[in-house]
Structure formats: C-alpha cells, structure tokens
C-alpha cells in the first residue's frame, strides 16, 4: 500500500531524456500504481507533515470526479488577483512537461489553490500564510478514482543535464507562523452587524449585503482524513477541498456552489442563494422546501444572483441557458434555492477573466457590488480570508473548475474557526439570519466537536 514519501529518486530514464530534448525546466511523470494507496495517510500528512519535513499541499474532489491529493511544492504561483493567474499559468506551462515513464506525453495536471475574498484588504495574522492568492503544482500528486485506479505523479527540476526531485518541504510557500485563532462572533455581535446592514439598506445605500461570521470551537484532534472523508460521505453532491500552506494550519471544507467550470468553450455555473433547514421527517422537509420556494425574501435574494450572473456572462461574451424557475438543492442539513446555468464562451481562453468577474456574486458579496464590498471592507476587513472566495483546479485559462469556498473552517492545532454567511435584504430578521449561519456551521461542527453544546 503506497505511503506518502518525503523523498524521490531519479526520474525514469526515458522520461528524463525526453524532457531534456524538449528543453523543459520542470518534469512531471505520471505512474499508474499497482497497489491501492493509503488515502488516509496521504490526507493526514497534509496536517501532520512527513518525517523531517513540514508539508504544504491540498486535497480536491468535485462530485463524480477523482480525488486529488498534492504534497509539497514543485511550483507555486502567488498572484494577488484571480485574473492575474492566466499569464503566470501560461509561463509555467511553457517551462513544464508531463510524461509517462516511457517518455510519451501525459495530461498536464492542474494547479490547485485559492485566493482571498477581498485581495485588497489586509489579511489577519492567522490567514497570512495562505497569501492573497496561492496555486500549487505539487511535488507529489496522488489521483484516486472511485473504481480504485490510482496514479502517482512526481516532479523534478532540471539542474543542467540532471534532474533534482521537487521540494517536499513546506517553506517554499508558507509565510509567518500563524497566530492562535480568535474566538469569533457571538449572536449579539452578529445581530448588531445585521441591524447596521439593514440601516444601510433602508437608507438606499445597499440592496443586499452578505455578512460572514466565524466561531472557534474545540477540534478534539479529529484526524484530517476522518474529517474530509466524513464530509465527502455526508455531502456527495458537493466539492471537497483542503489547502495547507505548510505552517501547521489548514483550510478545508465542502462546497455546494460552483463559481465556474470551463472546458473547450463550454461553461457551467450556478446561482445558489436562499436557504431553509431540512426537516426531521419527509413531510416536514417538504413543508420547509415548499415554504422556501414561496418565500418573497428568499426569492428576491435568489433573483439578484441570477440576474447578476446573466449580466456578467453577457459582458464577457458568454451565452447562458437556465430553467425559468429555481429548484431545490437539498444537502445534509440545509436546502437552497438553486438555478443551474450551462452555456458557451465566445473566447474560450477568457474563462479565467469571467471567473474573476463573477466573484463575488451577490450570493456571497452583495448588491450593488462595489458599494457592498466597500461596506464589507469597513466592517469585516479581511477577516473572512479565503472563506467564500474562489478555490479550485486550473489547467489553463480555458480549462478550469472553481467553487466558492463555503461550508469551511480554518484549522490550527486543537482549534477550528468555522465560517458561515447570510444574505441581508430589507425584509431580513437579525435572529433568523443568525440561526441560518448556525445551521450552515453544523456541516462541520458535528464532525469536529460532537460533544460540544449547540449555540443558543
């Protein structure tokens, strides 16, 4: 059973010679594995590290797709904005070659990473190691399919006529040592902010703003593999993600919301706004869902997102098709109004620009966008870090899969800061919005601290 490895030997000779002939600076060799890998050990290593080595890396699995786990740093792209990633990505691809052991071409793997929700706002100390935008091509990459097939991709850097294994150590991307996590915001403080947002809405300054809050809870040292695999089992329709900058902290979660998926000019996105709890019985669940579909406040919130996505796509040469009415996306503990979009992009290599323009949709930012973000800069600064920001896998400017980093937590030691948000409109009730964030946090709380009392 292949385990995570802190060191790698030389690359296969045929691949090494082919890469030298091609003039590549970075060689990636994809090797199918005969034995099933120890997925739990690979996941746990993201947080615990390896013998004599800290570890940066990631985990990534969209629904009905393989699980990708990256260890170490072959190449890290640090950009302050999502629309700045394209040029850096193209430059990296020109210097990189992906091969099979026999020297034949292999598919180029994606860079995986994310960025800050407000890249122009200062990051708190505990988010500083992640940076405003970090995208990794790992030193070792394990790809595991549902049918048990697995591939290990290793990376080597060129050193004259020889190849040196890519650095598995974390210091290549980690920033300052993260500080202890803050306690977060209680019910009174959050409801006070909701009332301030309602004042801004009633004055005509805003139509909607999404407030995020965090709460720090004991983790009880739940192994990362147990947490991530448990989330995957509870939320099979969501995308599993995790990112470790290598300083001992880790951001992870399970997102129900696709920001943008693009391939060969075909694009997919969604509006996901408007929430209600699940019922404790089929009849109660149906009543909650039907009430959500009829709720004027929730329908207004959803329509703002639908209209914004359509308008943004059209400005960037996108043609989108969607059903006329939202359906319900039912998850383990919450259900959402959901409108899926499918379409095409006139210029396929503009997909990254479109993703940057979509973020943040009114589902996580507000409306009007600039006024809402200015309000959030004053009231939240950069406190939400990577929460509700783009996270995902980018192969090229025209091939990517990005989600909105929701249902997530920042882990450090025996603590976890849980994040959730709520959309505030004129009809909003502060207590109801607080309880919506509490329900969303339950996605992670139950696995992290099963004996902790629920918030009031």
- Are 408 and 215 a contacting pair, CB within 8 Å? no
Residue 130 sits at the vertex; the CA angle it makes with 124 and 136, to the nearest 5 degrees, is 170
The secondary structure of residue 162, as a DSSP letter, is: E
**Which residues have a catalytic role annotated?**
208, 257
Cα–Cα distance for residue pair 311/324, rounded to 1 Å: 16
CA distances to 42, 68, 239, 294, 453 from 404, rounded to whole Å, are 24, 18, 10, 26, 29
Q: How far is CA 160 from the centre of its chain?
A: 37
- 31 forms bridges with which residues in the sheet? 152
- Of the candidates 157, 194, 138, 122, the residue with the CA atom closest to the CA atom of residue 20: 157
- Are 264 and 399 a contacting pair, CB within 8 Å? yes
- Are 350 and 395 a contacting pair, CB within 8 Å? no
Cβ–Cβ contacts within 10 Å for residue 231, how many? Answer: 23
Q: Who's near 129: CB < 8 A, 6+ residues apart? A: 173, 174, 175, 176, 177, 178, 245, 246, 247, 249
Give the H or E element holding residue 378. helix 369-379
Cα–Cα distance for residue pair 309/257, rounded to 1 Å: 13
Cα-trace Rg, the chain: 22
Q: Who's near 228: CB < 8 A, 6+ residues apart? A: 43, 59, 240, 242, 252
């Amino acid at each position: 059973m292949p385990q995570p490895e802190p060191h790698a030997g030389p690359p296969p000779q045929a691949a090494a010679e082919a890469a030298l002939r091609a003039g590549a600076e970075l060689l990636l060799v994809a090797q199918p594995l005969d034995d099933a890998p120890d997925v739990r050990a690979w996941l746990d290593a993201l947080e615990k590290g390896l013998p004599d080595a800290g570890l940066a890396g990631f985990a990534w699995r969209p629904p009905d797709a393989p699980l990708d786990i990256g260890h170490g740093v072959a190449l890290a792209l640090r950009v302050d904005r999502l629309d700045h990633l394209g040029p850096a990505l193209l430059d990296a691809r020109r210097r990189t070659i992906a091969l099979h052991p026999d020297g034949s071409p292999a598919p180029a793997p994606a860079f995986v990473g994310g960025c800050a929700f407000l890249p122009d706002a200062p990051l708190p100390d505990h988010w500083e190691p992640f940076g405003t935008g970090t995208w990794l091509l790992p030193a070792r990459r394990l790809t595991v399919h549902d049918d048990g097939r697995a591939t290990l991709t290793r990376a080597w850097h060129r050193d004259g006529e020889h190849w040196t294994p890519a650095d598995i150590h974390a210091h290549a991307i980690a920033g300052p040592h993260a500080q202890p996590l803050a306690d977060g915001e209680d019910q009174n403080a959050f409801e006070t902010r909701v009332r301030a947002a309602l004042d801004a809405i009633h004055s005509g300054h805003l139509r909607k703003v999404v407030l995020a809050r965090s709460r720090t809870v004991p983790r009880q040292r739940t192994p990362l593999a147990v947490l991530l695999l448990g989330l995957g089992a509870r939320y099979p329709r969501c995308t599993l993600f995790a990112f470790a900058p290598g300083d001992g902290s880790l951001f992870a979660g399970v997102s129900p919301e696709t920001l943008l998926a693009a391939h060969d000019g075909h694009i997919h996105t969604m509006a996901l706004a408007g929430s209600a709890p699940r019922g404790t019985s089929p009849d109660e669940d149906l009543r909650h869902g039907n009430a959500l579909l009829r709720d004027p406040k929730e329908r207004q919130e959803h329509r703002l997102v639908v209209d914004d996505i359509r308008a943004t796509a059209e400005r960037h040469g996108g043609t989108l098709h969607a059903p006329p009415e939202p359906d319900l996306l039912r998850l383990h503990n919450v259900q959402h109004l959901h409108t899926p979009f499918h379409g095409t992009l006139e210029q396929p290599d503009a997909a990254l620009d479109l993703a940057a323009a979509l973020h943040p949709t009114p589902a996580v930012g507000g409306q009007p966008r600039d006024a809402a973000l200015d309000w959030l800069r004053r009231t939240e600064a950069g406190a939400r870090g990577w929460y509700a920001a783009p996270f995902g896998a980018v192969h090229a400017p025209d091939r990517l899969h990005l989600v909105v980093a929701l249902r997530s937590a920042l882990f450090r030691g025996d603590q976890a800061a849980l994040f959730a948000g709520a959309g505030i409109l004129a009809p909003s009730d502060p207590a109801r919005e607080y309880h919506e964030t509490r329900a969303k946090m339950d996605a992670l709380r139950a696995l992290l601290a099963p004996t902790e009392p629920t918030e009031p």
